[in-house]
Amino acid sequence: MTRDPRYDVLFEPIKIGPVTARNRFYQVPHCAGLGHRYPFANAEHRRIKAEGGWAVVCTEESEIHHTSEISPAMESRIWDENDIPALQLLTDGVHKHGGLAGIELVYIGYHGPNRYSREIPMAPSHTVTDSYEPVQARAMDKQDIKNLRRWHKQAALRARDAGFDIVYAYAGHDMSLPMHFLSKRHNQRSDEYGGSLENRVRLFRELIEETKDAVGDRCAIAVRLAVDELLGDSGINSDGEGKEIVSILAELPDLWDVNISGWSNDSMTSRFSEEGFQEKYTAFVKSVTSKPVVGVGRFTSPDTMVSQIRRGVLDFIGAARPSIADPFLPAKIEAGRENDIRECIGCNICVASDNVVMPLRCTQNPTAGEEWRRGWHPENLQGSGSKESVLIVGGGPSGLECARALAQRGYRTTLADSAPYLGGRVALEASLPGLSNWIRVRDYRTGQLDQMLNAETFVNSTMDAALVQEFDCDHVVVATGSHWRRDGKGRQHKRPVPGLEDFAVFTPNDLLNPDFKIEDLPAGNVAIFDDDHYYIGGVLAEMLARAGRTVYLITPASEVSTWTKHTLEQERIQTRLLELGVHISQQRGLSRVKSGQLEIACIYTGRTEIIDCQSVVLITERAPERGLFDALTQLKNAGSLDQIKSIQLIGDALAPGTIAAAVFGGHRCAREFGIETDVDDVPFKREIPWFSEN
């Protein structure tokens, strides 16, 4: 296949100061939950993106000094020369494939409480930190500012010595000291670094100029700036000070990397934003600078990318999440394989990984974060060299990924699902408000299976033990999913809630059934008891409220969909529900149920209150659908399935979890299929610290 000439513009080389990017694909700085603690894993994660065609590959935030750190988050560090070897692993890997390596130098300021170093945080003015802990930052004096400028310059020199081609001065996401100086919300100084915008820009200008003086002969100097905080005149905005800042500094850096702030705006989920959603805030930048501009917008469509270039919005197509979902996105477009792109679904599981301080996860790309420690390449799998056949029962995200990867390895695969469609829970949940992009989990995998001659898929095919016994296959993988419990058992209630048997009880399975109609609920108020705390409770409440029902959402947590704080959407979810008139009862459990009423109780005091409702939707715990697996295992143990060599249970049928976990389980099954392992061995490499007194 050859590249579509419509996309030729994406592969033009672009000069950035003293260096040249080989194309317009630019992986902007993003966290991966790896950083200084897992340097080998971090380097390999970035190297593979360069292999996949990204012309520029950047680090995450790289802390420049021990007086400003954000432990336990696993960012990069460039505190002193001891950090250079780890960072050089990354630059060497990127250079191996002709890419440019960029580093985002950061001084966190009041955003970091300095849990590790125990240094007192610094800020433009006295203020509390934003970490919800009893820590305050002190106002910087003139010597502190001189020190910061020196530390930034020293870090830039270390970055150059580590092999970086692009060095950032960073003022974005409300997470960096330069932005805090720019912001009139944070900067209440009355000296030459405060007051007027010109004064507030002073420190950022100095950092850019001094970084350029130090390393600009060899390294490009990039500026990352949040041009809008979505706070109107209360913050930096693209119609006001955001545009003025860019105009003041327009020709100073070699590249402008522009976005919106804070992080929950910049990395908005697909539930609340569309591809290219930042354009209306950042499009002005190219009109006020001659330097190349990179921006983001969860770009996955090459047509959208070309449009951004042709219309003069951007010079580089910036990406964080799409580069995680498919590190080979540029290479696939270049090879005329754009239909093979594993498109980002905008779920922010990757963001949640960083927020809960664990290595990277991705719903679409199960190899993310596993490139070094498990040796998983996103495109290449070890061939099986086997003619054996595998029957996969269940066409949800786990079964689909298992079938796709097994077929890629060379096994003859048959995928059977009892439903009239493939995709399992993904196909159903993608019909909910804002989740339509999630269908990409199914569509990517069915699209790949359709191209494979050794893979077959069947719908409307219910497989019981007898039919499996008759089926001609060597191995069976059971991926039959799970179902939501109807008895109230979950995190809050460890035993079934009494009285539910006499009430109109529904679960997400009922509401997501393709045959479900809103009229199937009894007339009157609907209560949702959400003890799951992820997205499903909030999105079902939204669906019912939009259908005109009066909805009561009850949760034992302190807020609606509390786990979505990690995916940066909790505030938007709760705001939307309140705007739709949903009645929210927080920190409440179910006490007693009787016809037409729910008695709920405060989880702390036990005080009760009554909610009048005619039906309740329980979102508590899921039970694995393992009946087929248990029946097959029993037959196998009885000697009745000798022709079948192995039976495996995967995905939600093994242990219900996220869609990302289901995809990972299917992929791991396929990767390890036919490879003997010792259960006593650690199945991945670990990064063991080298011990020394220093």
Query: Rounded distance, CA 337 to CA 221, Å?
Result: 34
Is 251 among the domain residues?
yes
pLDDT score for 676 = 84
Q: Domain with 664 in it: what CATH number? A: 3.40.50.720
pLDDT bin (cut points 50, 70, 90) of residue 172 is confident
Is 301 among the domain residues?
no
Query: Rounded distance, CA 192 to CA 693, Å?
Result: 44
Query: Helix/strand/coil (H, E, C) string of 220-264?
Result: EEEEEEEEECCCHHHCCCCCCHHHHHHHHHCCCCCEEEEEECCHH
Residue 490 and residue 474 in one domain:
no
Is 379 among the domain residues?
no
3-state helix, strand, coil in the chain (%, to 5): 35, 20, 45
Instruction: Indicate the Cα dihedral angle 29, 32, 34, 36, nearest 10°.
Output: 20
pLDDT score for 367 = 98
**CB-neighbour burial class of residue 132 (10 A; exposed 0-12, middle 13-18, buried 19+):** exposed
Residue 576 and residue 646 in one domain:
no
pLDDT score for 552 = 98
Is 133 among the domain residues?
yes
| SS3 state at 602 | strand
Average of pLDDT values for 21-27? 98
Query: Rounded distance, CA 359 to CA 74, Å?
Result: 9
Query: Rounded distance, CA 397 to CA 176, Å?
Result: 39
The catalytic residues are 31, 170, 173, 266
Cβ atoms of 336 and 346 within 8 Å: the answer is no
Residue 35 and residue 173 in one domain:
yes
Q: Domain with 49 in it: what CATH number? A: 3.20.20.70
pLDDT score for 384 = 87
| SS3 state at 156 | helix
Task: Tell me the one-letter amino acid at 2.
Answer: T
Q: How many CB atoms lie within 10 A of CB 73?
A: 19
On average, the pLDDT of the chain sits at: 95
Residue 39: both structure tokens together: 């340097």
The two beta strands, 56-63 and 100-106, are parallel
Is 692 among the domain residues?
no
Element (H, E) at 663: helix 659-672
pLDDT score for 625 = 97
Task: Give the domain-ending residue among 229, 264, 299.
Answer: 264
pLDDT bin (cut points 50, 70, 90) of residue 481 is very high
> Percent of the chain scored above 90 by pLDDT?
91
**Closest of 76, 104, 110 to residue 170, by C-alpha:** 104
pLDDT in tens, 288-334: 999 999 999 999 999 999 999 999 999 999 999 999 999 999 999 99
Query: Rounded distance, CA 267 to CA 261, Å?
Result: 9
82: left (phi over 0), alpha (psi -120 to 50) or beta: alpha
Number of H helices, E strands in the chain: 21, 29
Q: Domain with 540 in it: what CATH number? A: 3.50.50.60
Query: Rounded distance, CA 527 to CA 582, Å?
Result: 10
| Helix 197-215 × helix 241-249 angle, to 10° | 40
Query: Rounded distance, CA 648 to CA 673, Å?
Result: 10
CA dist 641 → 103, 117, 472, 630, 644 (Å): 57, 61, 11, 13, 6
pLDDT in tens, 44-98: 999 999 999 999 999 999 999 999 999 999 999 999 999 999 999 999 999 999 9
Residue 580 and residue 654 in one domain:
no
Is 271 among the domain residues?
no
Query: Rounded distance, CA 615 to CA 597, Å?
Result: 9
Residue 638: both structure tokens together: 């009885």
pLDDT in tens, 465-477: 999 999 989 999 9
Is 687 among the domain residues?
no
Q: Is the pLDDT score of 693 beyond 90?
A: no
pLDDT in tens, 599-625: 999 999 999 999 999 999 999 999 999
- Using alpha carbons only, what angle is made at residue 206 by residues 61 and 223, rounded to the nearest 5 degrees? 40
Query: Rounded distance, CA 362 to CA 348, Å?
Result: 8
pLDDT in tens, 532-550: 999 999 999 999 999 999 9
Residue 555: both structure tokens together: 């949760």
**pTM for the complete prediction?**
0.95
Tokens 């002190």 belong to residue: 138
Query: Rounded distance, CA 7 to CA 23, Å?
Result: 11
pLDDT in tens, 331-389: 999 999 999 999 999 999 999 999 999 999 999 999 999 999 999 999 999 998 888 99
Task: Tell me the one-letter amino acid at 174.
Answer: D
Query: Rounded distance, CA 121 to CA 115, Å?
Result: 10
Q: How many CB atoms lie within 10 A of CB 612?
A: 12
CA dist 222 → 16, 46, 94, 304 (Å): 9, 19, 18, 24
How remote is the C-alpha of 381 from its chain's centroid? 24
Residue 444 and residue 530 in one domain:
no
Residue 499 and residue 606 in one domain:
yes
Cβ atoms of 314 and 308 within 8 Å: the answer is yes
> Total structural domains in the chain?
3
Residue 507 and residue 632 in one domain:
no
Q: Which segments of 149-197 are extended strands (E)?
A: 166-171
Number of residues assigned to the chain:
694
pLDDT in tens, 387-430: 899 999 999 999 999 999 999 999 999 999 999 999 999 999 99
Q: Is the peptide bond before 262 cis (omega within 30 degrees of 0)?
A: yes
pLDDT in tens, 222-239: 999 999 999 998 899 999
Q: Is the pLDDT score of 694 beyond 70?
A: no
Residue 117 and residue 183 in one domain:
yes
pLDDT score for 549 = 96
Helices assigned H by DSSP within 472-622: 508-512, 535-546, 570-579
Q: What number of CA atoms fall less than 13 Å from residue 693's CA on the CB side?
A: 0
CA dist 120 → 126, 493, 525 (Å): 11, 43, 52
Residue 219 and residue 102 in one domain:
yes
Task: Give the domain-ending residue among 264, 294, 311.
Answer: 264
Residue 379: both structure tokens together: 């495109």
**Which long-range contacts link 425-429 to residues 24+ away (Cβ below 8 Å)?**
425/396, 425/397, 425/481, 425/512, 425/652, 425/659, 426/396, 426/397, 426/659, 428/512, 428/513, 428/514, 429/512, 429/536
Query: Rounded distance, CA 416 to CA 402, Å?
Result: 12
pLDDT score for 678 = 82
* Enclosing domain of residue 115: 12-19+27-264
Is 683 among the domain residues?
no
pLDDT score for 595 = 76
Residue 502 and residue 455 in one domain:
no
Residue 561 and residue 668 in one domain:
no
Cβ atoms of 35 and 182 within 8 Å: the answer is no
pLDDT score for 306 = 98
Residue 134 and residue 255 in one domain:
yes
424: left (phi over 0), alpha (psi -120 to 50) or beta: left
Cβ atoms of 58 and 222 within 8 Å: the answer is no
Average of pLDDT values for 99-103? 98
